[in-house]
């Protein structure tokens, strides 16, 4: 007896065969992917803003060139991800509209301000570090175009993470004021980075289904724990500390225990009330409006070539 489209889909997922754009897929699977990939793309694009803030003030030409390259990589990641999401039948214009009218989310982390040069280091080490922890498993996600986009993105993120750590390492070996700047930045970015993994598993509405469909390979809490375990060791190389008095190696669990997360802050930031939500969205809308002439010119050029 012939298999139904749903049975074919399920058996592909079971056998680790990638789902491709023209394959039949449940509507909910498609919607989940459009939501996750577009929010991921928006995060990369909005994520350019906090670091963009420091390009003109980088302390040396080398630091400036590296930071420009990193921010440019983030733009590239956003574009790959919009392209991957478009293969599911939603246009880029629609996705961008959803970002601008507040219907679509972007990562909570980009709603915090970058107030010192050390923040460029902390973003690279902690924010890119958390992004890699979450994204390496996405190279094996069940939807082909998303998985393939993640391979290159992860390679670039890993460079970003190392350049951030190196900024902090330099500061940590510097003057008293530089060491202070380094610790202060870690103190401000630690908890928001821990929150990047999303709500705890018992409060995460999407995780169970996304794990069944192999969109997600690990739960939010599993990835968060891996991140804490790695950072708790790496911070020692900096001679700094993480701002958590309850951080402690647990011999039985073979993991670090850590203190309670301020979920009130997390939900408040993702509902639009973080320190920089308004500023970030205003900057995106302004850039989009001011770029209208570029889109018009590109369309006119493409039309002329078609003719």
Binding mask 210-249 vs ligand FAQ (x if CB under 6 A, - otherwise)?
x---------x-----------------------------
Residues 135-174 that bind ligand FAQ (CB under 6 A): none
Q: Does 185 bind ligand FAQ (CB under 6 A)?
A: no
SS3 102: coil
Residue found by looking up tokens 């995106």 in the block: 284
Q: Does 131 bind ligand FAQ (CB under 6 A)?
A: yes
DSSP for 141-206, written as a single string: -SBHHHHHHHHHHHHHHHHHHHHHHHHHHHHHTS-HHHHHHHHHHHHHHHHHHHHTT-S-GGG-SS
Q: Which residues of 49-62 are buried (b: 16+ CB within 10 A; e: fewer)?
A: bbbebbbeebeeee
Q: Does 119 bind ligand FAQ (CB under 6 A)?
A: no
In the complex, minimum distance from the CB of residue 135 to ligand FAQ, in angstroms, rounded to a whole number: 6
- Alpha-carbon distance 23 to 33, whole Å? 14
In the complex, minimum distance from the CB of residue 169 to ligand FAQ, in angstroms, rounded to a whole number: 18
Residues 240, 58, 175, 187, Cα dihedral to 10°? -30
φ, ψ for residue 154, nearest 5 deg: -65, -40
Residues 6-45 that bind ligand FAQ (CB under 6 A): 35-36, 39-40, 43-44
From candidates 29, 33, 47, 242, binder to ligand FAQ by CB under 6 A: 47
Q: What's 26's DSSP letter? A: -
Binding mask 70-109 vs ligand FAQ (x if CB under 6 A, - otherwise)?
----x------------------------------x-xx-
Q: Does 205 bind ligand FAQ (CB under 6 A)?
A: yes
- Alpha-carbon distance 151 to 131, whole Å? 13
- Alpha-carbon distance 270 to 274, whole Å? 7
Tell me whether residue 47 or residue 145 sits nearer to ligand FAQ (CB atom). 47
Number of residues forming the site for ligand FAQ (CB under 6 A): 28
In the complex, minimum distance from the CB of residue 92 to ligand FAQ, in angstroms, rounded to a whole number: 17
From candidates 25, 126, 270, 281, binder to ligand FAQ by CB under 6 A: 270
Residues 275-304 that bind ligand FAQ (CB under 6 A): none
Residues 132, 135, 136, 142, Cα dihedral to 10°? 180
Q: Are 280 and 111 in contact (CB under 8 A)?
A: yes
From candidates 196, 228, 238, 281, binder to ligand FAQ by CB under 6 A: 196
Binding site for ligand FAQ (CB under 6 A): 35-36, 39-40, 43-44, 47, 74, 105, 107-108, 123, 127-128, 131, 134, 195-199, 204-207, 210, 220, 270
């Amino acid at each position: 007896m012939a298999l139904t489209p749903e049975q074919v889909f399920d058996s592909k997922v079971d056998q680790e065969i990638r789902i491709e754009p023209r394959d039949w897929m449940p509507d909910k699977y498609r919607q989940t992917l459009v939501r996750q990939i577009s929010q991921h793309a928006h995060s990369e694009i909005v994520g350019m803003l906090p670091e963009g803030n420091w390009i003109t003030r980088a302390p040396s030409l080398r630091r400036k060139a590296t930071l420009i390259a990193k921010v440019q990589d983030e733009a590239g990641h956003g574009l790959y991800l919009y392209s991957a999401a478009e293969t599911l039948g939603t246009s880029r214009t629609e996705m961008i509209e959803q970002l601008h009218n507040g219907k679509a989310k972007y990562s909570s982390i980009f709603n915090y301000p970058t107030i010192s040069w050390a923040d460029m280091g902390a973003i690279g080490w902690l924010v890119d570090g958390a992004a890699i922890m979450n994204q390496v498993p996405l190279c094996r996600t069940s939807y082909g175009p998303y998985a393939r986009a993640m391979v290159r993105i992860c390679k670039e993120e890993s460079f970003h993470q190392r350049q951030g750590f190196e900024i902090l390492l330099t500061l940590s070996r510097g003057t008293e004021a530089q060491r202070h700047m380094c610790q202060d930045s870690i103190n401000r970015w630690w908890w928001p980075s821990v929150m990047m993994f999303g709500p705890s598993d018992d409060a995460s509405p999407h995780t169970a289904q996304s794990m069944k469909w192999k969109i997600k390979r690990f739960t939010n809490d599993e990835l968060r724990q891996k991140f804490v375990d790695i950072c708790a060791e790496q911070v020692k190389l900096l001679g700094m500390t993480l701002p958590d008095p309850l951080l402690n190696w647990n011999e039985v669990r073979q993991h670090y225990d850590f203190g309670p997360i301020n979920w009130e802050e997390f939900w408040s930031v993702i509902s639009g009330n973080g320190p920089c939500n308004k500023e970030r969205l205003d900057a995106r809308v302004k850039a989009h409006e001011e770029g209208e002439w570029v889109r018009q010119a590109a369309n006119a050029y493409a039309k002329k070539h078609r003719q």
